[in-house]
Amino acid sequence: MKKRQEDAVNLTPMIDIVFQMIIFFVFTLDLEREKFTKDIDVPFAKNAPEIKEFEPATIYPQVMENGSIKVGSAIASPAVFRSMVRQAVKRFGQEVPVMIYGDANAKHEYIKRVMDICSEEGLYKINIIGIIEKSG
């Protein structure tokens, strides 16, 4: 008799809550965020307009402190990066947004190299990313 009572613990509320939590985490899971590498120390820019939405066609070159260019989690040589920009311009036209995610300690010449590749491919409007608030 005792055993039967234990079996009959009502699991429904727990399962309800667990499912709610799973749904929450699935919806807030943002795989897109992985386009930014963690080992880049982006400078703060608290007064500039916040990026509300990331447009899918945007190019995100990440410039590391030593000058290497990363796109996603892969290091791209300047030639590879140039061909990526060219492809993007061919596909989406000259309105492709470029957002540079640069390390605060990177020399400007490395940032310039990335911007020059973009402008040589016809993209003159460049956005530079800053951080308003770090999550921790």
Partner 1 sequence: MSRKRKRQRKKQTFEDVPLTPMIDVVFQMLIYFVLTFEIPDKMSQMQVWRPAGDSPPQADSTPPLNVARITVYDGYYAYNDTRASLGTLERTFNRLADLNPTQSIIVVATADSRHGSLVDALDLLNKAGLENVSLLSSN
Residue whose pair of structure tokens reads 């080992």 in the numeric block: 39
Span of 17-25, 70-78, 80-88 interacting with partner 1 by CB under 8 A: 17-25
**What Cα–Cα distance (Å) separates residue 53 from each residue in 26, 49, 76, 132?**
19, 12, 25, 15
* 37 binds partner 1 per the rule CB under 8 A: no
- Which residue among 2, 46, 56, 74 contacts partner 1 (CB under 8 A)? 46
* 103 binds partner 1 per the rule CB under 8 A: yes
Span of 28-36, 68-76, 85-93 interacting with partner 1 by CB under 8 A: 28-36
Distance CA(115)–CA(2), nearest Å, equals 74
* 64 binds partner 1 per the rule CB under 8 A: no
Distance CA(81)–CA(76), nearest Å, equals 6
State the amino acid at position 122 in one-letter form.
G
3-state secondary structure of 75: strand
* 90 binds partner 1 per the rule CB under 8 A: no
Q: Which residues bind partner 1 (CB under 8 A)?
A: 8, 11, 15, 18-19, 21-22, 25-26, 28-30, 33, 42-51, 63, 99, 102-112, 115-116, 118-121, 124-136
